[in-house]
């Protein structure tokens, strides 16, 4: 029988998965849930050493002679501090010791709670990894807890061996042992270039047998021709589909646009389940499309293989099973070379491509969507395009770009600051390209001092969408009433004209379709004597409505969903949007 505390259940289950059985236990009340759970489990070899300092050194000697990891477990407060000397010794000798320190409710730290000190990261200078587990209350907490324990155990022998620290807080003392079965947990594997090639070959065999493999390409700044060729060959060999966003900078003829398909607000759960893969292979940085949120809804129903050159655990879909510590080029090339001859039957790819090809792009009213569409579709090949966050990325991904356009976006941190400065730096380093920036007003006014930088080339084209505030807050329904415009959306009436002209930019502006269409030709011109700036004035609530209507109208639908959509539209037009929302809230359905 095992403890009711979920965190310790997960630890015990993962220790078993990892084959770590030797545990040195020091008496104390807070670690009773762990101690009593394992002392009768025949898998574990338990040793009782009351003095924690001696216990740590005992475990050090045991680990060195066995040549395998050893667990030490103690209660909270100064008991944990007694691990300091043996943990330091283990660090400098490279001994794989796992220090499990029990802890009390984090909210009570410094509140005169008895037997409680700050234990989080207490050994950080002398351990390879330190994690502080969450108190598990729900499924997301379980996934997080499982990932953190795996992260710690993975570091025991990553680029050399050494100790790790797992701190285990709990709300209250627990002395119940009525759990018969441990939870089903996933051991995360890490495979690297110099590792056992039989592990690689097992994975390749699994790919050969899989019917639905999804390759998800995140943000990439530099993409080699070799990587693109390897992805193309992988697609031809394995039953796969490859999804990209423009910030992934992958040029591949049969790539699927994940933004078009997977916007998290409008694709149905039924459709996502139909497209659900057996294996997801991801590489690169941040992913902007709704594919993250949609796949997370089915966490655990598929395997996620993450290619991370530094070996980090990146559980973006909450289903991580394997980390490949290598470059994407190496991963795809190895799989391609070692696979038995096989050809993609295209059945899984067809599910994605058929849905994508049925997306309808309507005519747009004057709005930021209209402006961005007409600019990005005219950017010439071999240009540079920097997309400021949110709307510029979201909207651009829906429209066709010319080939060989280098895409940048500051989505590592996803802040509005710095987009203009980053673009100007990229542009100065690309004097032979036409360089384009699409930026919103809040981002522009935040960093507009960058316009004073020297050496800005005449090949710079800046499209400013000035919709008088943060339309994102209308789009994500954070706008509640007129008061929201004071602080949430930061509504304003500023214009860029004076500042732009004073910094020797050619200035254009538009307030409607006619003026936009007239200005577009000059804005896109490559024959200019100085950098060019196009300020397009729209209205943020209208812009948000246009995106919603676009996403709603563009996705393929069956007769039932079309009937529902039309019914909702009739209701809203009859009784008004506010009353329709109240009705929807009362009967728990969405408008």
Together in a domain, 234 and 353: yes
Is 181 among the domain residues?
Answer: no
Helices then strands, each counted (H, E), the chain: 24, 19
> Is residue 123 one of the residues assigned to a domain?
yes
* Domain match, 346 and 402 both: no
pLDDT of 548 reads 79
Quick one: 194 and 343 in the same domain?
Answer: yes
The domain boundary, picked from 357, 380, 397, lies at 357
pLDDT of residue 323: 97
4 band by pLDDT with thresholds 50, 70 and 90: very high
Average pLDDT, the chain: 90
SS3 breakdown of the chain: % helix, strand, coil, rounded to 5? 40, 15, 40
Would you state the pLDDT for residue 160?
94
Residue 129 token pair: 């990894």
Q: Is the pLDDT of residue 588 over 60?
A: no
Q: 434 and 458 in one domain? A: yes
Per-residue confidence (pLDDT) for residue 161, from 0 to 100: 97
Give the pLDDT score at 221.
87
Comparing C-alpha atoms, which of 272, 299, 282 is closest to residue 355? 272
Judge whether residue 559 has pLDDT over 70.
no
Domain contains 496: yes
- 389 confidence band (pLDDT: 50, 70, 90): confident
Residue 384 has phi, psi (to 5 degrees) of -115, 135
Alpha carbons 509 and 42: distance in angstroms, whole number: 76
> 501 with 439, same domain?
yes
Alpha helices in 67-121, H assignment, sequence order? 78-81, 84-93
Tell which of 140, 169, 198 closes a domain.
169
Structural domain including 206 reads 189-357
Percent of the chain with pLDDT over 90: 71
**Half-sphere exposure of residue 324, counting CA atoms within 13 Å on the CB side?**
25
pLDDT in tens, 468-520: 887 777 776 777 667 677 777 778 889 999 999 999 999 999 999 999 999 99
> How far is 443 from 20, CA to CA, in rounded Å?
51
Q: Would residue 490 count as lying in a domain?
A: yes
- Look at residue 183 and tell me if it is in a domain: no
**The pLDDT of residue 566:** 54
Query: Is residue 27 very low, low, confident or very high in pLDDT (cuts 50, 70, 90)?
Result: confident
SS3 track for 41-79: CCCCEEEECCCHHHHHHHHHHHHHHHCCCEEEEECCCHH
Check if the beta carbon of residue 485 is closer than 8 Å to that of residue 462. Answer: no
Is residue 565 very low, low, confident or very high in pLDDT (cuts 50, 70, 90)? Answer: low
Q: What is residue 464's predicted lDDT score, i.e. its pLDDT?
A: 97
- Please state which of the ranges 75-84, 259-268, 413-422 shows the lowest mean pLDDT: 259-268
Tell me which of 12-21, 219-228, 261-270 is least confident. 261-270
pLDDT of residue 48: 97
Can you give the pLDDT at residue 556? 67
Cα–Cα dist 227/242, whole Å: 13
Q: 493 versus 60: which is more confidently predicted?
A: 60
DSSP state of 416: S
Does 163 share its domain with 221?
Answer: no
pLDDT reported for residue 567: 60
* Residue 28 pLDDT exceeds 60: yes
β-bridge pairing 256-257 and 97-103: unpaired
Is the pLDDT at 586 greater than 60? The verdict is: no
Provide the pLDDT for residue 125: 94
Mean pLDDT along residues 21-45: 95
Residues 217 and 156 in one domain: no
- 78-100 in b/e form (b: 16+ CB < 10 A) is ebbbbbbebbbbbbeeebbbbbb
Q: Is 495 inside a domain boundary?
A: yes
Same domain for 108 and 194: no
Q: Determine contact, residues 134/167, Cβ cutoff 8 Å.
A: no
Q: What does the radius of gyration of the chain's CA atoms come to, in whole angstroms?
A: 28
Q: What is the DSSP letter of 2?
A: B
Number of domains in the chain: 4
Query: Cα(418)–Cα(446) distance, rounded to whole angstroms?
Result: 8
Task: Out of 335, 357, 379, pick the residue that ends a domain.
Answer: 357
| Three-state DSSP class for residue 253 | coil
Q: Tens digits of per-residue pLDDT, 80-128?
A: 999 999 999 999 999 999 999 999 998 888 888 888 899 999 999 999 9
- Do both 512 and 589 map to the same domain? no
Give 486-515 as a 3 state SS string: HHCCCCCCCCCHHHHHHCCCEEEEECCHHH
Reported as a single tens digit per residue, the pLDDT across 231-241 is 999 999 999 99
pLDDT (mean) for 180-193: 94
Residues 46 and 154 placed together within one structural domain of the fold: yes
The pTM of this model reads 0.89
Asked if residue 264 has pLDDT above 60, the reply is: no
- The alpha carbon dihedral of 465, 470, 474, 480 has a sign of negative
Is residue 419 in some structural domain?
yes
Strands (E), 236-319: 240-244, 256-257, 279-283, 303-307
Determine the Cα–Cα distance for residues 239 and 391; give it in Å rounded to an integer.
33
* CATH code of 108's domain: 3.40.50.970
Query: How is residue 225 written in tokens?
Result: 């021709």
Q: Give the whole-angstrom CA distance, residue 37 versus residue 455.
A: 68
413 within a domain of the structure (yes/no): yes
Least-confidence region, from 123-127, 172-176, 198-202, 232-236: 172-176
Buried/exposed code over 5-40 (b: 16+ C-beta within 10 A; e: otherwise): bbbbbbbbbbbbebebbbbbbbbbebbbbbbebbee
User: Do residues 407 and 512 share a domain?
Assistant: yes
* pLDDT value of position 187: 96
Shared domain for 426 and 540, answered yes or no, is yes
* φ, ψ of residue 574 in degrees (nearest 5): -85, -50
């Amino acid at each position: 029988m095992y403890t009711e505390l979920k965190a310790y259940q997960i630890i015990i289950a993962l220790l078993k998965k990892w084959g770590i059985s030797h545990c040195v236990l020091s008496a104390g009340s807070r670690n009773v849930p762990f101690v009593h759970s394992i002392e009768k489990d025949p898998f574990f070899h338990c040793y009782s050493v009351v003095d924690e300092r001696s216990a740590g050194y005992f475990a050090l000697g045991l680990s060195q002679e066995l040549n395998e990891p050893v667990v030490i477990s103690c209660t909270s407060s100064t008991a944990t501090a007694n691990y300091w000397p043996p943990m330091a010794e283990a660090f400098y000798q490279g001994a794989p010791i796992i220090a499990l320190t029990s802890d009390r409710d984090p909210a009570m730290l410094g509140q005169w709670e008895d037997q409680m000190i700050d234990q989080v990261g207490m050994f950080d200078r002398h351990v390879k990894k330190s994690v502080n587990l969450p108190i598990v209350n729900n499924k997301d907490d379980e996934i997080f807890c499982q990932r953190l324990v795996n992260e710690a155990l993975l570091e025991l022998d990553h680029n050399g061996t050494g100790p790790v620290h797992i701190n285990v807080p709990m709300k209250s003392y627990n002395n119940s042992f009525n759990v018969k079965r441990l939870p089903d947990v996933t051991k995360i594997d890490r495979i690297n270039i110099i590792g056992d090639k039989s592990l690689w070959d097992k994975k390749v065999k699994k790919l050969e047998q899989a019917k639905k493999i999804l390759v998800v390409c995140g943000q990439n700044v530099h993409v080699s021709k070799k990587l693109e060729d390897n992805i193309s060959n992988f697609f031809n060999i394995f039953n796969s589909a490859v999804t990209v966003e423009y910030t992934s900078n992958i040029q591949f003829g049969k790539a699927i646009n994940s933004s078009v398909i997977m916007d998290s607000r409008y694709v149905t759960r039924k459709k996502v389940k139909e497209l659900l893969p057996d294996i997801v292979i991801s590489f690169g940085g941040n992913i902007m499309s709704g594919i993250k949120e949609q796949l997370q809804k089915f966490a655990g129903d598929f395997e996620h293989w993450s290619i991370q050159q530094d070996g980090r655990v990146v559980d973006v879909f909450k289903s991580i099973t394997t980390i490949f510590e290598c470059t994407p080029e190496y991963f795809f090339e190895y799989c391609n070379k070692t696979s038995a001859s096989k050809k993609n039957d295209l059945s899984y790819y067809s599910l994605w491509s058929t849905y994508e090809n049925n997306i309808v792009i309507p005519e747009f009213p004057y709005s930021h969507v209209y402006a961005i569409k007409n600019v990005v579709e005219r950017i010439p090949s071999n240009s540079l395009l920097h997309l400021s966050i949110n709307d510029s990325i979201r909207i651009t991904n829906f429209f066709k770009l010319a080939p060989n356009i280098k895409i940048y976006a500051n989505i590592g941190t996803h802040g509005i600051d710095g987009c203009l400065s980053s673009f100007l730096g990229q542009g100065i380093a690309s004097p032979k390209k036409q360089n384009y920036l699409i930026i919103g007003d809040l981002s522009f006014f935040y960093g507009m001092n960058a316009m004073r930088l020297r050496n800005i080339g005449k090949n710079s084209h800046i499209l400013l969408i000035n919709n008088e505030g943060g339309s994102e807050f209308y789009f994500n329904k954070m706008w509640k009433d007129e008061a929201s415009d004071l602080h949430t959306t930061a509504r304003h009436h500023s214009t860029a004209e004076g500042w732009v002209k004073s910094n020797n930019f050619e200035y254009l502006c538009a307030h409607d379709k006619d003026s936009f269409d007239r200005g577009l030709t000059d804005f896109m011109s490559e024959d200019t004597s100085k950098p060019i700036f196009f300020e397009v004035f729209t209205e943020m609530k209208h812009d948000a409505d246009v995106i919603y209507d676009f996403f709603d109208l563009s996705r393929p639908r069956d007769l039932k969903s079309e009937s529902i959509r039309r019914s909702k539209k009739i209701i809203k037009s009859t009784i008004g949007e506010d009353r329709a929302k109240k009705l929807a809230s009362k009967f728990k359905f969405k408008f």
